[in-house]
Amino acid sequence: MPFSNPNFRRSTLVFTLLFLGVLITDQNIKRLFLEGLFYEGECLSFTLALNKGVAFSMFAFLGPYLKWIQTFLLLGIFIYIIWQRYLQRYPVALALILASGISNVYDRFMHGGVVDYVYWHCGFEFAIFNLADVLIDIGVVMMIYLLWREERQKGECDD
């Protein structure tokens, strides 16, 4: 019975608290920019931009279909995570990825595009991004590292 397992309860609690924390924090930061927060710096600016596509505005041509495609992708990923019991093994990485993904998709439904606001322009022009984008990247790197470490440990046990 998974609910009686202390590790399951702990990982579920960690996932839930971090998931909610990321979602609430990201949406509140975005609200500041939607309400007019702006800063122009020498290398870094904070300015509102609605991204109708994904990274670097790719797939913007999909228009309103993109939010539905991303919604079904996130739902499929969540079902797969539950089915494979990955939530118990990787609660932090998955909370970062899923909460950030949901926050960005929420933006699409509520604002017509993802609310981006961090703009790096020192030495080269870089894309405008947001906290959720950074947390997705961190979550993916964590997952890659954890999976690599598990495989390495498995290989050591097989020797």
Q: In this structure, what token pair is assigned to residue 15?
A: 């996932």
Q: Is 133 a catalytic residue?
A: yes
129's enclosing H/E stretch is: strand 128-129
**Apex CA 49: angle with CA 45 and CA 51, to 5°?**
130
- pTM of the shown model: 0.88
Residue tagged active-site, from 116, 137, 158, 159: 116
- Residue 1: pLDDT over 60: no
Residue tagged active-site, from 26, 133, 137, 158: 133
The string of pLDDT tens digits covering residues 48-91 is: 999 997 876 778 888 888 899 999 999 999 999 989 889 889 99
